[in-house]
Chain A
Amino acid sequence: MDAKTQTTPEITPEIVAEHGLTSGEYQRLLKILEREPSLTELGIFSVMWSEHCSYKSSRVWLKTLPTSGPQVIQGPGENAGIVDLGDGDACVFKMESHNHPSYIEPYQGAATGVGGIMRDVFTMGARPVANLNALRFGDPAHPKTRHLVSGVVAGIGGYGNCVGVPTVGGETNFDAGYNNNILVNAMCVGLARTDKIFYSAAKGVGLPIVYVGSKTGRDGIHGATMASAEFDEKSDEKRPTVQVGDPFTEKLLIEACLELMDKDVIVAIQDMGAAGLTSSSCEMADKGGVGIALDLDRVPQRETNMTSYEMMLSESQERMLIVLKLGSEAEAEAIFKKWELDFAVVGATTDTGRMVVTHQGRIEADIPVTTLANSAPVYERPWFPLAVPKMILPEWVPAPETILGTLKTMMAGPALCSRRWIWEQYDHMVMGDTVQRPGGNAGIVRVHGTSKGIALTCDVTPRYVAADPIMGAKQAVVETWRNLIAVGADPLAITDNLNFANPERPEVMGQFVGAIKGIAEACNALDYPVVSGNVSLYNETKGAGIPPTPAIGGVGVIPDVAATADIALNREGDLLIVLGRERGHLGQSLYQEIAAGKLEGAPPPIDLADEIKAGRLVRALIREGNVSAIHDTSDGGLLVAIAEMALAGNFGVELFPYEGKLPGHAVWFGEDQGRYVLCVDSMRAEEVLDRARLLALQARIIGRTGGNALMLKGEDPLPLDDLRVAHEAWLPDFMAAP
């Protein structure tokens, strides 16, 4: 039967437009099918060719990223990236955005973001062992911000806590640029054995295709298309396109899938994420070079009278598609029945090369598989390189009345206040292997049953990227690398979550291209490839786009979790050393924002050669046991790093007067890159300085631990108790305000 003949209304230009396809794209579709599509086929093409699924605006640029290295087992293109941890252990990880749904329905949007990224990881045979998240909210004064923070944090916790995977790190920013488009980027990290990794290529004909997990409902239809368009005043009407999560089912699904993976029965496995049954079946068939026949009558359904269109486009959560070895259906079914999950054989692989979907005896879709996966349009969107602002001199930014008073003000504001209110709502200890909890340089999770650890972090400083996309993106990569170094890890690889506005605007595309160049340059220099990632475009409302936000998730390995360090000062009389070049760079700094009331100038420059030298020295010092506490310097500069170390360990610091040529406020608050604050035994300080000098790295002693205040000559001491109250209060007070 011809697919065109039944059920569907006539395909008018309006219907095509509602599906987000341009007229050019529709012409391309007609050429492929050589006839008009059925409504189901139009829906399938529209999601597979959406920006979210096809990467049509970003693909040409993503190809330029470095993705290989001896540590890489799997680079981009699978459900998640995989790196080798040695001894047969592998680390599987990815970060993914759930921005659009989280703005419309923050709890469920964020919750299903966490659920989706966990499925990407356990699909590959890994047990999820850690979650992280990178969150960007609007101005605290914006009327929606508090509601969004509350819902997103509760959603992330509600899902991850119930599944029982610790949330060990993350970052949160507030900026008016996100008022109408918040960002929720969720990262999941799993552990697998290198000889037990599962892929999505459905190789072999006549094999059973099995559907497991939750039943299919009408939720989330066209979520991928929504995530590929700008918001307007009608965005709230898109609430029905947001999916609803069920973490309990996810937990059962993880256990059932890992139990099945222990048997030798799986040919291929893929979660049903964006575009649900459509993209999972199509990608598996495409990668395996086979056709696929689906019988929708066999799909477990939560609602009655669902059409083929609805079933193919549903984004109901907690579902997986598995291609089994012939004859193993009964063995697999027994496992899913034990975990009280749905199990249904819904189709088979074929030798036709086509995706044939039948429903109630009718063929509802009949499409060549490769055209869906590989013939999606690819755009080389116009772009132009953005003008980079000039460096500003430190003298141009006014000096404060007092250094310590300014420190307290900065640490009591939204940019630098404690994030405890957030991470205490996340279970960060379940699974019993969390060696470093949130609030430090990087989270550390032990590889279960060993003394090895993985170090995890995510970072980006959007104001730097906005000022200079290349340098800002480079900084994001290097900051993750530095955070991993600062816990004694060998940085291995990154996942990138590239959040940008509308790519059809050349300046936005210019930001995107610049960011890719910056990421590539840093990754190449640091042998720190990109192994997975996600692109989220159209983060824009009525023409106002978000600041460019390429969030980077970094993963490193620690050979022995006993040889690490954290940020907490832990004894009196140690000396603090700042390692790395001091330039007093105040352009785009948090201090500039407070003191000058604006951000301007170039962001701080990165010297990749110096980064590598400093990183190697720091890691060696940590592993030798020569460092009693350590922190990298980032937002807010040197003094903020010292203050965070003092608060974490509840030891004060006597700061030594600066005798160089830079203005004092530029020394204490400048955001120069490539620096670490090391706390060392006083007997070892000279040796550390010597070793820095041998590498031609700048280093000097800046203070001594002791007392219960921060002390600077000529100023009143700042008692730690006062600083702590101010630092801890802002977020809970903000969230509790009427």
Chain B
Amino acid sequence: MLRASVIVFPGSNCDRDIKVALENVTGFPVTMVWHGDANVPVSDVIVLPGGFSYGDYLRCGAMAAHSPIMRDVVAKAKAGTPVIGICNGFQVLCESGLLPGVLMRNASLKFICRDVLLKVDNAETFFTKCHLKDQVIRLPVAHAEGNYFADTATLDQLVDENRVVMRYCDAEGNVTEAANPNGSQRNIAGICDKTGRVLGLMPHPERLFELALGGSDGRRILESMLLSVLEAA
């Protein structure tokens, strides 16, 4: 089975969406955990959902990174519990130091909501193993601050260590400037930590997991979690 916990911050608004998607795809119930709690229950995966935790005040993810629950999330992540941060959750992971870099204002300075194409650079992580390397998938983005930035040394290190998990691309898988929706360095849409067990991802897999919503490419990320847990058992 898969024991997933979704952290609910004040202002989270994709918490229910990822719960529904995970339960639908994996068949296992998901636990919602309030940000003010001290501990996350024992989990196979922890999800930091999308939304506007603390209204994005101060800086996206900055306040949430100091929520009481985050001390335990960081501790569990360091002890090996897989953690995925989606959109605002990615921003929280960067702010809490689990992932390097920062998500700045989109180059267009506008909120952007649309489907994007992504090239799967690393299909071996806990969250991506149901993909093929270099596979092109379609997922929605919805953010005003998704412009990934890190210094050159960090970017080189991410590439060298195969930690760039997904990049914005065109239909043929070419990583082009035109395919970059927000100005991210090197078209980065998602990165992981050294273990491949902490993933930050700007696009929303939970928004395209069934054909009724216009596509199902998001399923594979959810299925990867289940497969990874089953394989380890």
Interface positions of A (Cβ within 8 A of B): 154, 157-158, 161-164, 246-249, 251-252, 339-340, 423-435, 437, 446, 561-562
- Complex Cα–Cα for A163 and B20 (A): 19
Within 8 A of A (CB), among B94-150: 110-114, 140, 142, 144
Contact (Cβ within 8 A) A432 B113: no
Chain B residues with Cβ below 8 Å from A154 are 110-111
Instruction: Known contacts A429-B142, A429-B207, A446-B212; decide if A424 and B113 are in contact (CB<8 Å).
Output: yes
Q: Is B80 an interface residue (CB 8 A)?
A: no
Q: Is B55 an interface residue (CB 8 A)?
A: yes
Chain A residues with Cβ below 8 Å from B111 are 154, 157-158, 161, 425-427
- Complex Cα–Cα for A426 and B140 (A): 13
Contact (Cβ within 8 A) B110 A425: yes
Contact (Cβ within 8 A) A432 B212: no
Q: Specify the chain B residue showing the minimal Cβ separation from A433.
A: B213
Instruction: Known contacts A163-B13, A432-B206, A434-B213; decide if A427 and B52 are in contact (CB<8 Å).
Output: no
- Complex Cα–Cα for A220 and B16 (A): 34
Chain A residues with Cβ below 8 Å from B204 are 429
Q: Is B11 an interface residue (CB 8 A)?
A: yes
Contact (Cβ within 8 A) A164 B14: yes
Contact (Cβ within 8 A) B113 A435: no
Chain B residues with Cβ below 8 Å from A161 are 52, 111, 113, 142, 144
Chain B residues with Cβ below 8 Å from A431 are 13, 16-17
Contact (Cβ within 8 A) B214 A437: yes
Number of interface residues of B (CB under 8 A): 29
Contact (Cβ within 8 A) B13 A432: no
Contact (Cβ within 8 A) B56 A252: no
Main secondary structure of the interface of B (DSSP, over half): mixed
Q: Which one of B55, B113, B214 contacts A427 once the chains associate, using CB atoms below 8 Å? A: B113
- Complex Cα–Cα for A94 and B128 (A): 43
Contacts A/B (CB < 8 Å), 9 sampled: A163-B13, A164-B13, A164-B51, A249-B55, A251-B52, A425-B113, A426-B111, A431-B16, A435-B212
Chain A residues with Cβ below 8 Å from B11 are 162, 248, 251-252
Interface positions of B (Cβ within 8 A of A): 10-11, 13-14, 16-17, 20-21, 50-52, 54-57, 110-114, 140, 142, 144, 204, 206-207, 212-214
Instruction: Known contacts A251-B52, A424-B112; decide if A430 and B14 are in contact (CB<8 Å).
Output: yes
- Complex Cα–Cα for A247 and B16 (A): 19
Central interface residue in A248, A251, A427, by most chain B CB within 10 Å: A427
Q: Specify the chain A residue showing the minimal Cβ separation from B19.
A: A432
Chain B residues with Cβ below 8 Å from A434 are 213
Contact (Cβ within 8 A) B212 A251: no
Contact (Cβ within 8 A) A246 B55: yes
Chain A residues with Cβ below 8 Å from B54 are 248
Chain B residues with Cβ below 8 Å from A427 are 111, 113, 142
Contact (Cβ within 8 A) B10 A162: no
Instruction: Known contacts A424-B112, A429-B207; decide if A248 and B51 are in contact (CB<8 Å).
Output: no
Chain A residues with Cβ below 8 Å from B206 are 432
- Complex Cα–Cα for A437 and B212 (A): 12
Contact (Cβ within 8 A) B52 A432: no
Chain A residues with Cβ below 8 Å from B144 are 161
Chain B residues with Cβ below 8 Å from A426 are 111, 113
Chain B residues with Cβ below 8 Å from A562 are 212
**Nearest Cβ on chain B to A241's Cβ, whole angstroms:** 24
Contact (Cβ within 8 A) B16 A428: no
**Nearest Cβ on chain B to A570's Cβ, whole angstroms:** 13
**Nearest Cβ on chain A to B105's Cβ, whole angstroms:** 13
**Nearest Cβ on chain A to B18's Cβ, whole angstroms:** 9
- Complex Cα–Cα for A612 and B111 (A): 41
- Complex Cα–Cα for A63 and B57 (A): 46
- Complex Cα–Cα for A432 and B23 (A): 13
Q: Which one of B52, B110, B114 contacts A164 once the chains associate, using CB atoms below 8 Å? A: B52
Contact (Cβ within 8 A) B114 A432: no
Contact (Cβ within 8 A) A430 B142: yes
Chain A residues with Cβ below 8 Å from B56 are 162, 248
- Complex Cα–Cα for A248 and B142 (A): 17
Contact (Cβ within 8 A) A162 B55: yes
Contact (Cβ within 8 A) A432 B213: yes
Contact (Cβ within 8 A) A432 B55: no
**Nearest Cβ on chain B to A349's Cβ, whole angstroms:** 32
- Complex Cα–Cα for A428 and B213 (A): 12
Chain A residues with Cβ below 8 Å from B52 are 161-162, 164, 247-248, 251
Contact (Cβ within 8 A) A435 B213: yes
Contact (Cβ within 8 A) A432 B21: yes
Central interface residue in B55, B112, B206, by most chain A CB within 10 Å: B55
Q: Which 3 A-B pairs have the closest CB atoms?
A: A164-B13, A248-B55, A432-B17
Contact (Cβ within 8 A) B10 A252: yes
Contact (Cβ within 8 A) B13 A251: yes
- Complex Cα–Cα for A424 and B20 (A): 24
Chain B residues with Cβ below 8 Å from A339 are 10
Q: A248-B52, A430-B142 are known contacts; what are 12 more A-B pairs with Cβ within 8 Å?
A: A154-B110, A162-B52, A164-B51, A248-B55, A251-B10, A424-B113, A429-B207, A430-B13, A431-B16, A434-B213, A435-B212, A435-B213
- Complex Cα–Cα for A158 and B17 (A): 20
Chain B residues with Cβ below 8 Å from A428 are 113
Contact (Cβ within 8 A) B114 A424: yes
Central interface residue in A158, A162, A561, A562, by most chain B CB within 10 Å: A162
Q: Which one of B57, B110, B114 contacts A248 once the chains associate, using CB atoms below 8 Å? A: B57
Instruction: Known contacts A161-B111, A248-B52, A425-B111; decide if A432 and B57 are in contact (CB<8 Å).
Output: no
Q: Specify the chain B residue showing the minimal Cβ separation from A436.
A: B214
- Complex Cα–Cα for A163 and B110 (A): 17
- Complex Cα–Cα for A562 and B212 (A): 7
Q: Specify the chain A residue showing the minimal Cβ separation from B21.
A: A432
**Nearest Cβ on chain A to B1's Cβ, whole angstroms:** 22
Chain B residues with Cβ below 8 Å from A432 are 14, 16-17, 20-21, 206-207, 213
**Nearest Cβ on chain A to B54's Cβ, whole angstroms:** 7
Chain B residues with Cβ below 8 Å from A340 are 10
- Complex Cα–Cα for A427 and B113 (A): 5
**Nearest Cβ on chain B to A262's Cβ, whole angstroms:** 15
Chain A residues with Cβ below 8 Å from B140 are 429
Chain B residues with Cβ below 8 Å from A158 are 111
Q: Specify the chain A residue showing the minimal Cβ separation from B214.
A: A437
Q: Specify the chain B residue showing the minimal Cβ separation from A167.
A: B113
